[in-house]
Amino acid sequence: MHRRAMLLGYMITQTGTLFNRGLLRSLIPAGINPLSAYRISSRLCSTDSEEENLDPTQRLVRSVLSPTPKTGRKWISETDVQKLCSYYRGSSFEQRLSFLQGLAKEGALDHGSVLQAARNLLAAQDKGEAAIIHAESRLSQRLTPNYRDVFTFISKLSGGVKFLVDLRADLLDHLASNSSDHNLKALNATLMEMLSHWFSAGFLNLERVTWQSSCEMLEKVSAIEAVHPIRSWTDIKHRVGPYRRCFVFTHNSMPEEPVMVLHCALMMDIPESIQTIVQFQSRRLSVSPDVMLNGEDHTQANAGIFYSISAAQKGLRGIDLGNFLIKSVVKEVRKEFPEITVFSTLSPIPGFRDWLLSTINQHMRDPSDKELFFQEELEKIRAAQDSNLEGLPLIKELLSTNTWVLSEELKDALKQPLMRLCARYLLVEKRRGYVLNPVANFHLKNGATVWRLNWLGDSSQRGLSASCGVMVNYKYNLDQTSTHGKNYIVSKKVPASSQVMLLTKPTGHGSAGISSKL
């Protein structure tokens, strides 16, 4: 029946006028839709001419994705996939975009088949459990895009997993400027789901990086560092030296390729600034060697401080690995230092200054009932600065240029309002019920507590431009992390210490006396 329909459809396309007049309709057997016959024949007759008009990218995509007639799936050859990977690696940015768009379009779901499979599932409800299971299986097949098979095959090749991680990094770049391309979005969602399975905690290896690690690993750790840039070999030697720990997650399919990096400092107290971490290491290294154990005095380490965590693979963005990395590092540090029970971060607050400047601009256009700065604060700031400006315009200029940090009077005048507004930014400002700041959101989901804000914890230009120099400690109380994480994710409750909560209140003028004791 199907062959007769194709033959008749072919005849119809060659005699379109006769078909339109209805002279050949009587030749089509009962049960065959004339339009379906016409469409089938159109595809058959146009295949050769279409293939001739395809560019190399389109031919390559079709060679890998074209389904077999019986199963609707493609039998994939290793030669085709190797050719695909080689072509992609040697392509330009524009060629890669064209390839990804072709892959996303040609391998996309057939919506008609999905709808028909869904109807078949509904129709099977009265035919018994076996019929229902069969219909569900067919629907599941129709809901699986063909490029998923291609990704699975690539993952089995040597270097295939790394290839897919890099491909998704390109895909994210393209989506940034092609956000309305729904096929690309579906391609990204499928690949992200597959990568999240391949990079689950059970498949990752925790490795400590030391000065004895390979030069390749040390160079990659240095290049990856996003929080506190590493500027020299001496710098990296200190980062992996005494009273420091550097751990990476690696994957068996990507040897010598860090997936995520975490730097930890071993200290006596929770630090207020990155300078404190540097100074502590310098002081301890000056101690007489006879009191050191393997270069470290274990009695001088009461706290593990996570001062930098960086994702190493852009293609794994959106896949939660940091939570597992922190928990794994805690276990390793406690194995080596059983006496350490305090774990905290010293974290930047990226986005605080941008949020504050945006809020100031909004307040200048449309003053709200919620004051940003109190009158006595504005007067104190004005008195410390010789300028024709005053009020919010003056504060906007000071924060935009970072010039305020050069004046002791201005630092004193700005401390109270900036600390209060930073506490508000971390605890009160929300998006969909969760805190606005991405770093805070990450640690709160992991079960940490917003424990302390640190004035001028990072006074570098980078720190001033990101958060007006303010840093924060997220403290991990090991016996409460599960409860805090659950409460934040489920109930959106933000755990914070009393000293941080006090900063959010108008009467919270006592921030200077915040304790650094554990």
| DSSP β-ladder status, 342-345 and 303-311 | parallel
Written as one string, the DSSP assignment of 181-244 is -HHHHHHHHHHHHHHHHHTSGGGEEEEEE-TTS-HHHHHHHHHH--SS---SHHHHHHHTSTTE
Element (H, E) at 452: strand 449-454
C-beta separation of 449 from 486 below 8 A: no
Q: Which amino acid is at 239?
A: R
Alpha carbon distance 487, 483 (integer Å): 6
Q: Do residues 501 and 413 lie in contact, with contact meaning Cβ atoms separated by under 8 Å?
A: no
For residues 395 and 384, the answer to whether their CB atoms sit within 8 Å is no
| Catalytic hit among 174, 228, 251, 443 | 443
Q: What are the angstrom distances between the C-alpha of 195 and each of 190, 191, 224, 283, 500?
A: 9, 6, 20, 44, 38
Q: Pseudo-torsion of CA 167, 171, 174, 180, nearest 10°?
A: 160
Give CA–CA dist 304/323, Å, rounded: 16
Q: Using the 8-state DSSP alphabet, how is residue 274 labeled? A: H
Examine the residue annotation and report whether 443 is marked as an active-site residue of this protein.
Answer: yes
Q: Which residues are 293's β-sheet partners?
A: 296
How many other CB atoms are found less than 10 A from the CB of residue 253?
Answer: 19
232 is an active site residue: no
Q: Exactly one of 273, 347, 467, 511 is catalytic; which is it?
A: 347
Q: Are strands 449-454 and 244-251 parallel, antiparallel or unpaired?
A: unpaired
- Please give the positions annotated as active site: 347, 443
